[in-house]
Amino acid sequence: MTPNELGRRPLLALSLITLLLVAPHFARLDLRISLAFIAIILLRLTTLYLPRLHPGRWLLLGITLAGAALIFTLYPLLMGLPAKVALLALMLGLKLMECRRRRDLYVVVFLGYFTLSTHFLFDQGMLLVAYVCVLVIGLSGLLIEASRATSRPGWPLHSLRFAAGLTAQALPIMLVLFFLFPRIEGPLWNLGVDNSIGKTGLSDSITLGSISQLIRSRAVAFRVDFDQTIPPPRLRYWRGPVLWHSDGRRWSRGRLMEPGPVTYRSDADPVGYQVTLEPSPNDWLYALDLPETLPVGATLSADYQISAKNVRNRRYRYVASSRLAYHTGALSERQRRLGLQLPDTITPRMRALVAGWRAGTGGDAQLVSRALQFFRSEPFYYTLNPPLLGTNPVDQFLFDSRRGFCEHYATSFTLLMRLAGIPARVVTGYQGGQRNPLGNYLIVRQSDAHAWSEVWLAESGWTRIDPTAAVAPERIERSFEFDLDENADPGVPVIFASADSDLLRGMMQQFRLGLDAANASWHRWILGYSRQQQQSLLQLLGFGSLSEFKLALAMVLATAALLPLLLLLLRRRDRIRPDPVQGDYVKFCHRLARRGLVRQPHEGPRDFARRVIRQRPDLQRQVSAIVNLYIALRYGPSDDPQQRRRLHQLVRGFRA
Amino acid sequence: MKQLLDQVVMEAGKIIVGKEHTLRLALTCLLANGHLLIEDLPGVGKTTLAHTLARLLGLQYQRIQFTSDLLPADIIGVSVYHRGEESFQFHPGPVFTQLLLADEINRATPKAQSALLEAMEERQVTIDGSTRSLPQPFFVIATQNPAHQIGTFPLPESQLDRFLMRLHIGYPDARAERVLLNGEDRRSLLEQLDPCLDLEQLRALQQQVARVHVSDALLDYIQALLKFSRNSPRFNHGLSPRAGLALINSARAWALQAGHPQVLPEDVQTVLSATVAHRLHSGSDTGVREGAGLAQFLLESVPLP
């Protein structure tokens, strides 16, 4: 075997690390590609022990061509990133097959570094970064181990430690580059691959059942940091699309309200907060009822809906403030007309119901409470599995099935109000949210999606009415935790369980919250580190605003300034580490020095002991015991920990 | 083993009176398989010392008196034409021995000096195209007069470096001198001396020297010494790696004959002057040999790590 030929051990390590390198891609690749890759790795591992199974050159060429053919059939024209990743993964595995010499190992390791960077095209989460860091250390350790002239037996811990040290040394420079590199505006990774994001979220219309699908998702919709205290759950209505138009089954925004000067009166103090919106396919933002100051670049429509450009499919962070009590003032003619629109599915029983209420009450406000009374007293149930409704769902829901959830209640209530001549509309959004005590912010999940109703009353303007609260106040008063049981029978009422009843569940919950808090900070400070944040950081450091050229210059200078620091660190490490034996001996010499018996710096232990004993014959026994032990430990061939401890005890007990 | 060596030193002490330390160093040098240079005034017992060691160690012994007209052939031998056999026949010179005493080596010309020094380094000689090995073991004990004496060719540094140690004998103290003056003739005493060691024992001792433990801490110390000699302005040039090896080997041999199971810094310090003094030169070269002072300065300047 020539020195450049690879042994079994590095090849085994290389194969395993290659498997780990590609592993996170498995979820994104076609199953067949993943299986082919694993098969190649397994073949490689088998041939390590049974070399005669190693495919010949021509067979290998055949396998390569077959792999390429597979990729081209699965991903025609190699469109999209997964195709390229598939190609990279398969070829990496095949390169492993022809890995014989040290040079081949270098090629695979460098390909491995490249493969690692491809993970960030799909995911930039904290866990992935940690995983990549571990693998970088592993790869570097492999590289170091393979570059050794002679390999040592046993685990190559030394190489790994060395690699970890190298990675740690790169850290300061990495930080400088991260904080000072001119930030590229816009989504850097927007390469048409983010198929994992923006799948869920509210849409700008609802049909009965659309929210109940959403509500089953535990995915996070957005997170909110409040400037002051978090408002109570019954005030946490996150306003989304406002729906005006109903065709009996489907509610939609209808003809969008024109943006214009929007005003309302309020005596309440403004509540400021920052929202970090998870990627969604929509172009509107959420704010507490009713928004006052808007994020930069956003507009407010006449029905208090915030829309913004360039917020689709990216994590978006914005600052807003709201006032939680308000009076919207007079109603425009256009809004009155839209707010009274009725579909052609109104049945006589509905008209009769409303007429009955109207007859028994005076003003609009009384009528609203009468309607809520209706929902409260009649046997309505809150369920996520409502029975299927036929051609006229509102009528059926109100008089027959009486099982539904927020969207059923909100839409039917709104229709009834319109029947009574009160302008009304459906508002969708999120309600509530869970406070994360670790980090003190609010997590709003898709399961918090909600729909409620707004009616226009002369005395208070547009007024939020939540009929769901009349049926299931628990839904509003607290973030609800219940088993989202897919298989529950239609119409089974939801039991609102106490969330912290179980210890284990409480711990799980705690763990989830902790993870979420860490992830939120990660997104906020690392991934969300934008040009603005960079500028404010620079301002904080006293640089003011820097042009990109100056920024690059600062980057270079800061890196250059780091180098002497690293050198200093290296020098420190090179210094002879104080050996415990030597430490004890130095202490012993110290104690003698206090009695005037100073050891010359160049004086050997035996000479010194002889001199000490000559001057202080009374110390002979102790001194010779200590010095003999010291000589044996420091200059002798054996290194016995027990003897070391004995020396330590002797020195501790030594009094001159 | 230590007793054996102590016995050698004791026996030698009967002839070289009052110079036990020098004797021990000389013995150390031979145990470390190195050549020895003795530099001192004429008449202090250089030749006697060499002769005594040869007798006690049971080695073949030859002596060359170096003079200014000595030729290389006088040292390594010569091929002579034999009429009867019509061929050249090699007559080995005095160098073909186990212990060679090169007396007053600095009185010979550089040409003769280098013939010997080559044999010392290679432990073989090449004459008329054929290489002849020297006997095993092969030691050279050279003596030289101090450089300031008339009619000397001082050895250049490169050749001094071939000697593991350089020793001074010095005048005996009053009591020892009295014994000398009073006692028998040294030559006749030498004749009565019996060898204390045979070749096998000597070889075993040399192997044991190589096995004396040298710890990392001690290597640190030796490296510190080398480093200091290279960085300090007091020295014209630093000690070579060969000097470092010489230091370790001598210290090992000293530790063996002092009965230490491992090399101690004191062992290094004991042999330091003998081993490095002839390799050091003052930075302000005045031409005066001040090696011993420099070695002492080196010793006192480098703290134990």
Chain B residues in contact with A607 by the CB 8 A cut-off are: 266, 269
User: Token match 């369980």: residue?
Assistant: A497
Count CB-CB contacts under 10 A for residue B215. Answer: 18
Does the annotation mark A500 as catalytic? no
Question: Looking at A86, A113, A147, which one is the last position of a domain?
Answer: A147
Does A281 contact chain B (CB < 8 Å)?
A: no
Phi and psi, residue A292, nearest 5°: -115, -70
Does A631 contact chain B (CB < 8 Å)?
A: yes
Give the nearest partner residue to B299 out of A602, A635, A637, using CB atoms: A602
Closest to A121 (Cα-Cα) out of A196, A206, A231: A196
Does A580 contact chain B (CB < 8 Å)?
A: no
Provide mean pLDDT across the span B62-82. 86
B64's enclosing H/E stretch is strand B61-65
Let me know whether A266 and A123 are in one domain.
no
Please report whether residue A531 resides in a domain: no
Count CB-CB contacts under 10 A for residue B91. Answer: 10
Let me know whether A402 and A260 are in one domain.
yes
Please report whether residue A375 resides in a domain: yes
Chain B residues in contact with A637 by the CB 8 A cut-off are: 213, 215, 262
Mutate to test the interface with B, among A575, A600, A635, A639 (most CBs of B within 10 A): A635
The alpha carbon dihedral of B68, B71, B76, B81 has a sign of negative
Residue A576 vs residues A168, B216, B305: alpha-carbon distances, Å: 21, 11, 9
Inter-chain residue contact B300 with A600, CB threshold 8 Å: yes
Tell me what pLDDT residue A577 has. Answer: 59
Tell me what pLDDT residue A131 has. Answer: 94
Rounded to 10 deg, the angle between the A531-540 and A157-180 helix axes is 90
**Minimal-distance CA residue of chain B relative to A579:** B217
Contacts 24+ apart (CB under 8 A), B145-151: B145/B39, B145/B40, B145/B41, B145/B42, B145/B104, B145/B106, B145/B107, B146/B39, B146/B40, B146/B41, B146/B289, B147/B106, B147/B289, B151/B68, B151/B107
For residue A612, what are its two tokens? 């000490």
Give the nearest partner residue to B261 out of A604, A606, A636, using CB atoms: A636
Tell me what pLDDT residue A575 has. Answer: 59
Does A639 contact chain B (CB < 8 Å)?
A: no
Let me know whether A297 and A236 are in one domain.
yes
Tell me what pLDDT residue A132 has. Answer: 94
Q: How confident is the model at residue B28 (pLDDT cuts 50, 70, 90)?
A: very high
Report chain A (656 residues): mean pLDDT per 10 consecutive residues: 70 91 88 91 89 84 90 81 87 88 89 91 84 93 80 72 87 84 58 44 73 73 86 87 85 69 78 85 85 83 82 80 84 84 87 86 84 86 77 84 84 90 90 80 85 88 87 66 49 56 74 81 76 77 73 83 79 66 87 87 89 89 90 83 87 82
Does the annotation mark A450 as catalytic? yes
**Cβ atoms of residues B14 and B189 within 8 Å:** yes
d(CA A66, CA A306): 53
* Catalytic option among A289, A303, A448, A466: A466
Give the nearest partner residue to B215 out of A602, A606, A634, using CB atoms: A634
Inter-chain residue contact B265 with A605, CB threshold 8 Å: yes
Tell me what pLDDT residue A113 has. Answer: 94
For residue B234, what are its two tokens? 């007091």
Give the nearest partner residue to A637 out of B213, B299, B303, using CB atoms: B213
d(CA B108, CA B72): 10
Please report whether residue A505 resides in a domain: no
Does A576 contact chain B (CB < 8 Å)?
A: yes
Shortest CA gap A567–chain B (Å)? 21
Give the nearest partner residue to B300 out of A579, A602, A637, using CB atoms: A602
d(CA A244, CA A252): 6
Coil/strand/helix, residue B108: coil
Residue B273 vs residues A137, A518, A576, B143, B280: alpha-carbon distances, Å: 51, 67, 27, 17, 10
Determine how β-strand B77-82 pairs with β-strand A461-465: unpaired
Question: Looking at A448, A479, A497, which one is the last position of a domain?
Answer: A497
Inter-chain residue contact A602 with B301, CB threshold 8 Å: yes
**Cβ atoms of residues B179 and B39 within 8 Å:** no
The residue type of B128 is: D
Let me know whether A212 and A83 are in one domain.
no
Beta bridge pairs of residue A237: A431
Please report whether residue A416 resides in a domain: yes
Tell me what pLDDT residue A487 has. Answer: 44
Let me know whether A483 and A354 are in one domain.
yes
Inter-chain residue contact A635 with B218, CB threshold 8 Å: yes
Tell me what pLDDT residue B151 has. Answer: 65
Give the nearest partner residue to B269 out of A576, A604, A631, using CB atoms: A604
DSSP state of A327: B
In this predicted complex, what is the ipTM?
0.85
User: Token match 């010291």: residue?
Assistant: A630
The structural domain count of chain A equals 3
B62's enclosing H/E stretch is strand B61-65
B299's enclosing H/E stretch is helix B291-301
DSSP A425-438: EEEEEEE--EEETT
Please report whether residue A556 resides in a domain: no
**Cβ atoms of residues B267 and B260 within 8 Å:** yes
Cβ pairs bridging A and B (under 8 Å)? 47
User: Token match 């409303």: residue?
Assistant: A354
User: Could you report the per-residue pLDDT of A88-115, keeping only the tens digit for each?
Assistant: 999 999 898 888 888 888 999 999 999 9
Distant-in-sequence, close-in-space partners of B170: CB < 8 Å, separation ≥ 6: B19, B22, B40, B44
Does A610 contact chain B (CB < 8 Å)?
A: no
Chain A residues in contact with B269 by the CB 8 A cut-off are: 602, 604, 607
Does the annotation mark A119 as catalytic? no
User: Could you report the per-residue pLDDT of B109-154, keeping only the tens digit for each?
Assistant: 888 888 888 888 888 888 777 888 888 888 899 888 776 666 678 8
d(CA A220, CA A279): 10
d(CA A197, CA A314): 8
Count CB-CB contacts under 10 A for residue B243. Answer: 21
Please report whether residue A259 resides in a domain: yes
Tell me what pLDDT residue A133 has. Answer: 93
Distant-in-sequence, close-in-space partners of A615: CB < 8 Å, separation ≥ 6: A597
DSSP B127-177: ETTEEEEPPSS-EEEEEE--TTSTT--PPPHHHHTTEEEEE---PPPHHHH
d(CA A463, CA A427): 11
Let me know whether A480 and A604 are in one domain.
no
Count CB-CB contacts under 10 A for residue A286. Answer: 25
Please report whether residue A155 resides in a domain: no
Let me know whether A128 and A210 are in one domain.
no
Alpha helices (H) along A523-579: 531-540, 548-574
Question: Looking at A466, A497, A528, which one is the last position of a domain?
Answer: A497
* Catalytic option among A25, A119, A408, A450: A450
Let me know whether A139 and A226 are in one domain.
no
Let me know whether A305 and A446 are in one domain.
yes
Let me know whether A401 and A257 are in one domain.
yes
Inter-chain residue contact A634 with B266, CB threshold 8 Å: no
Inter-chain residue contact A604 with B266, CB threshold 8 Å: yes
Inter-chain residue contact B303 with A601, CB threshold 8 Å: yes
Inter-chain residue contact A601 with B220, CB threshold 8 Å: no
Mutate to test the interface with B, among A581, A602, A627, A634 (most CBs of B within 10 A): A602
Chain A residues in contact with B303 by the CB 8 A cut-off are: 601-602
**Cβ atoms of residues A633 and A585 within 8 Å:** no
Does A603 contact chain B (CB < 8 Å)?
A: yes
DSSP A87-150: HHHHHHHHHHHT--BHHHHHHHHHHHHHHHHHGGGT---HHHHHHHHHHHHHHHHHHHHHH-SS
Phi and psi, residue A101, nearest 5°: -105, 170
d(CA B139, CA A514): 80
Please report whether residue A546 resides in a domain: no
**Cβ atoms of residues A243 and A198 within 8 Å:** no
User: Could you report the per-residue pLDDT of B238-285, keeping only the tens digit for each?
Assistant: 888 989 999 999 999 999 988 888 899 999 999 998 898 888 877 665
**Cβ atoms of residues A287 and A239 within 8 Å:** yes
Inter-chain residue contact A602 with B262, CB threshold 8 Å: no
For residue A522, what are its two tokens? 């990660």
Task: Produce one character per residue of A157-175: b if its CB has 16 or more CB atoms within 10 Å, e if not.
Answer: eebbebbbeebeeeebeee
Determine how β-strand A287-288 pairs with β-strand A237-243: antiparallel
Inter-chain residue contact B262 with A601, CB threshold 8 Å: no
Task: Using an 8 Å CB-CB cutoff, list residues of chain B that contact chain A.
Answer: 213, 215, 217-218, 220, 261-266, 269, 299-305
Residue B222 vs residues A148, B31, B231, B290: alpha-carbon distances, Å: 28, 20, 14, 22
Structural domain range at position A125:
8-147
* Catalytic option among A289, A406, A584, A589: A406
d(CA A338, CA A414): 12
